[in-house]
Structures are given as C-alpha cells and as structure tokens.
Chains A and B, each alone.
Chain A
C-alpha cells in the first residue's frame, strides 16, 4: 500500500452510491431500533428486559419506538422494491436477475461456495469472487425474507382488528411466534454472522468502511473481487466507476457509526443469548 502510494495516488472505485449508502443507513438504524425495542418483549421474563424497556421510557414508549422504526424499515423495503421494479419494468434491465451484478443466486455461486469450503480445508485455491459473494447474497436474501415475514406478521398484529375480520384467529398466535422468533434469528444473524463477514474477519478487521464511504481502493477490488476487477479491466469499464478517495470526515463518520452499531449489536446479542439459554 505504502509503496503504491509512493509511486502514484491509489485509485478508488465506487461500489455503493449515495442512494444505497443512505438506504443501508436507514435500514441499519431502524433495524437496531427494532431489535432494541423488540427484544425486551421477546424475552420479557429476562431480568434485563424491564430495565431496558424503562430506559426507553416504559412499555408505552417501547411500543411507540418499535412501530416508528417499523415504519421506517417498511419504507426502506418499499423504496428498495420500487427501484428494483423500475429497473425491471421501465429500464428493462434483466441484470437484476441474471449476470455478475445480480444479487439473485446463480449456479456460479454454488461452485464458489464449494470451492470456498475446499479452500477452508486446504484442498484448493481461494475462489475468485465477483461483485457479490455467495455469503453476501445469502445476507441480502436473509434480510429480504426477514423483512417480508417479520413485517407482514408485525402489521397483522398491529392492525389485528382489521386482519381479524378475514383471517382466522389462530393465525395471530402463529404471527406472534414467527414475528418474535424470526426476529431473533435476524438479530443474531446480523449481530454475529453479518458483523463477522463484513467487518470482523481478519482481512477486514476491525471495520470495512465501504458501506459508509461507498469506495474501495484498487487493491481491495483486485484482491477481494478479482473476477469483477478483471472483467472490468477487460471491458475497460473500470474508469466508469472510478471516483475520488474517501474524504477523511466520511471515514471518521463511518468509523464512529460503525463501531457504535457493532457495540450495540454485541450487547443485544449477549443479552438475548443469555436469555435464550436460560429461558
């Protein structure tokens, strides 16, 4: 890195534009809020539950925050789906579903996963990942599925009188269960697996700022996503995504927000794990 910077200023490429960074910001913010206000209800018998609820201003306040964050997250979801629909139906961009930049799992992802496991055991080289790795796609769909199912069951309970007019009552018991347990899975997934894969794995430790700055250096792109780098190099489309280096304030802002969220996430993970085991 240092040698490179001595030779010439490192090049930077844009991975996430401002829209996606903002969308992720709102998603992250509302998810954390939902987890903090929802987990005291999921583990209401745990000793920390009432303390956490009181810290937020009591039970009524917890409900208010939970519903507010739910609305923000729902909005994020709708905006995301809206942009996808626009890409598909107005721009006729089938890259949403197929190709190297799609988040939809492809056959190639399956092979990359197998190869990744072979590498874990020392039986082969590390796979040459493209724009999105198989675990990133898993991450994306886990959140997508989670929002759909947790959101639906949540709105069902929020407007129980309306949904009760055409849905059988027993469905509400299932909704409560699914809402609470699917949320627990989501919380644990994000606060352990997502945190590790995105930030805490040794290659990235302690934090990967790309989701805050949107920019990756040439070295990062070449080493982590060689398939994408070489494809763009061959297509000569690297300059299309070239951008300025991340400003210092943005990097600092990313570190501040990132570390705070990771810390909050770990606390919530610890509390819920303790409550789940002693439940």
Chain B
C-alpha cells in the first residue's frame, strides 16, 4: 500500500491546472454568508470548496466532487472543533501543492491516516481488525474510517442505533437482509428497539475479528450470553437466563469450553449457540420457522449428526434445568446419585474407621 501511495504522490495529473484556474475564479465570487460559527480557516477554504460545482476528474475517468456543505459540516461532530488542515495537513497553502491520484479509491486511501492524530486508540484497534488484514494484503476495497463514519459530515455513531447496521449493509448487503428478517434485526429496524444487538454489538466496531475462525466460533456463546444471561434485560422479554448455564453443562457446551482452554486446534468442532439457532437469521424460538422448533430440530441435528433418527432430538432438554416438572426422570436420577454416592462412601468410610478404632483399642 505504501508503494501505491508513493506513486500517487509523485505523478502529476492533468487535472491540477484546471482546478487552480477554477479555484481562482470561484474565490472572486464567493458569497460571504457561509457558516457563521465556523473557524476563519474553514471559512477561507469554503470560499472555494463551498462551490457545489467544484470537482476534479481523475485519470481513471471518475469524478470527485470537492464540495463541502458548510451547514452539514457545521452540524457534524467536528464542525466547531476541527479545521480543514487538521485532517488535510498536507494542504496548507494556496495554490495547493500538486497531488495526483489515479482513481477515487487512491484519493480516499491517501487520507486514511488523517483520523489517527486524534483518534489514536480507535485507529490502533482497527489494526487488529479483519478489515485491516485485507487492506494490508493490498485490497483497497477494505473499509477505512471514513467509509463507515463519513468524511466531512461525521455524525455521532449509534444515533440512531439502526444506522450502524445500515452502515455495514452498504457492503454486507446479503447478511444485512438476513439480519433484518431476524428477531433481532426486525426489532431494531421496525420497532427501533435498541435492546437488540446491531452488527457491532457482536462483531465490535473497530477491532472486528474474522468471524470464520475456530476461536471466534468457540467463544461466540459468550457474545450471546452478554445479553442472554442479563437477568434484567431477559426478564423484560420473558426469556430464560439459564441458556448459557444449561449449554455449558450439556455435552456441546462442555466440549466447547474444553476446546477453548486447549492449545491444540480441534479436529472436530462442537455446536455453539449459532449452530442451532442460526447466525444472522436467528428467529424467536416460538416462531414456527425457527430452526430449533421441535418440528425443525431433526434437520438441525443432522447438520452434524447425519445419521440421527427421529428419536435423536428428544435427548435435548431445550435449555431447561432438569426439575420435577421438566425432565423429571433426569432430575430424580441426578438427585438419587447426589444422595446415594455420599451415602455409600461415608458408610464404608465409617466401617474403616470402626476397623481402625478396634485395632487401636486392642493394642
């Protein structure tokens, strides 16, 4: 990537002369009523860049508008605090030093590191993200700060919460469509319910991990549990907070926690929440289309247990703790052993103690 930028800087493009000429004329006719609150430096730049028609044509044939809406910039989070040269630190004179970009993306990438001056913590987080990984491999399509946040009109993130998922949807369209139909997505996009997770609640925003890895798969129950073991939140929707506990004591959960604590990569994986409930298309468990609905359960089991029969899913206790009402047999067998084991062992230990006592007395 460094070489691409270097190239872009050292080549002169035919567009530069045209811009300079245009800027000169537009300065003459600049209206004086723009953004009264804006710092004088910004006012100065806007005398050209406030012209809606201001644009350049890049060698690739793509047009790039150089217009900045003063009003919208003023209302953005940066409006009153940040001047143009805070980000465009390479342009502090007029006429501007010549800069040449082959195409639009190169133009954007050139300003990629502008944000880190102030937002260093989030910038470093992005270095751990899957987006940065593909960027560092030379894929310039990977999203940069401004692709999600915007450049001149940066709004407060999470306002409204649905804007997060819509932002991700710009690239991840198919997943977003599935998410929008899910119990979480529907609540967010239709009812504006902010209790439900948007993309970044599970995937995080800056240090987005590759969700296709084994380690992500194995720790995903923790993601779900952040909300699904929250008593207060789950009470609101009459959902059980037992789901994680029952999962962890179940064979699948036990296997997952062992694999997580082990150093060796597992040969065979175990089911986590999303393997049965779905990932982006999670439906309410009462929804007849839900994959975990009894009628659909066998199909889900067969994803991993291809030879599973009709009897197979009935082993599953649906996240219920065995009790005298739910799974009474399991409950009573468990109870039996809880009493029987100590009873037998303590009884036999007492016999041992009697034995020793007798030998001591006889001595």
Contacts and interface: CB of A to CB of B under 8 A. Distances in A.
Interface of A: 40-41, 44-45, 49-50, 53-54, 57-62, 117, 119-122, 160-162, 164-174, 176-178, 181-182, 184-185, 188-189, 192-193, 196-197, 201-203
B56 to A, nearest CB: 58
Interface stretch (B124-132, B158-166, B197-205, B338-346): B338-346
Contacts of A53: 258, 261-262
Contacts of B349: 192-193
Instruction: Classify the secondary structure of A's interface with B.
Output: helix
Nearest to B317: A173
Contacts of A61: 264
A165 B311 contact: yes
29 contacts: A40-B258, A49-B258, A53-B261, A54-B261, A58-B258, A58-B259, A58-B263, A59-B258, A60-B267, A62-B258, A120-B358, A160-B305, A164-B309, A164-B312, A167-B311, A168-B314, A169-B315, A170-B314, A172-B315, A173-B322, A177-B337, A178-B333, A181-B334, A184-B341, A185-B340, A188-B341, A189-B344, A193-B345, A203-B359
Contact of B248 (A45, A117, A161, A173): A45
A176 B251 contact: yes
Instruction: Classify the secondary structure of B's interface with A.
Output: helix
B357 A196 contact: no
Given A44-B258, A188-B345, A193-B345, A161 B352 contact: no
A35 to B, nearest CB: 15
Contacts of B214: none
A168 B305 CA distance: 16
A94 to B, nearest CB: 31
Contact of B341 (A167, A176, A185): A185
A268 to B, nearest CB: 14
A118 to B, nearest CB: 10
Nearest to B358: A120
Interface of B: 248-249, 251, 254-255, 257-259, 261-264, 266-268, 305, 307-309, 311-317, 322, 327, 329-330, 333-334, 337, 340-341, 344-345, 348-349, 351-352, 354-359, 361
Which residue, of A59, A185, A188, has the highest number of chain B Cβ atoms within 10 A? A59
Nearest to B344: A185
A171 B309 CA distance: 14
A202 B266 contact: no
B259 A59 contact: yes
Given A161-B308, A170-B314, A192 B345 contact: yes
A161 B337 contact: no
Contacts of B248: 45
Closest 7 CB pairs of A and B: A169-B314, A181-B337, A50-B261, A169-B315, A161-B307, A59-B258, A58-B264
Given A41-B254, A177-B337, A58 B311 contact: no
Contacts of A161: 305, 307-309, 312
Nearest to B354: A120
A122 B264 contact: no
Which residue, of B311, B312, B334, has the highest number of chain A Cβ atoms within 10 A? B311
A54 B341 contact: no
Given A59-B266, A161-B308, A170-B315, A193 B330 contact: no
A164 B305 CA distance: 11
Nearest to B261: A50
Nearest to B254: A44
A109 to B, nearest CB: 15
Nearest to B337: A181
A160 B322 CA distance: 21
A169 B356 contact: no
B116 to A, nearest CB: 39
A189 B348 contact: yes
Contact of B316 (A165, A169, A203): A169
Contact of A174 (B255, B314, B330): B330
Given A59-B262, A169-B313, 6 more contacts: A54-B261, A60-B266, A120-B354, A173-B330, A174-B333, A176-B251
A196 B263 contact: no
Contacts of A174: 329-330, 333
Contacts of A62: 258
B355 A201 contact: yes
Which residue, of A40, A61, A160, has the highest number of chain B Cβ atoms within 10 A? A160
Given A60-B267, A119-B358, A188-B341, A169 B348 contact: no
Given A120-B355, A173-B330, A192-B345, A44 B257 contact: yes
A170 B247 CA distance: 17
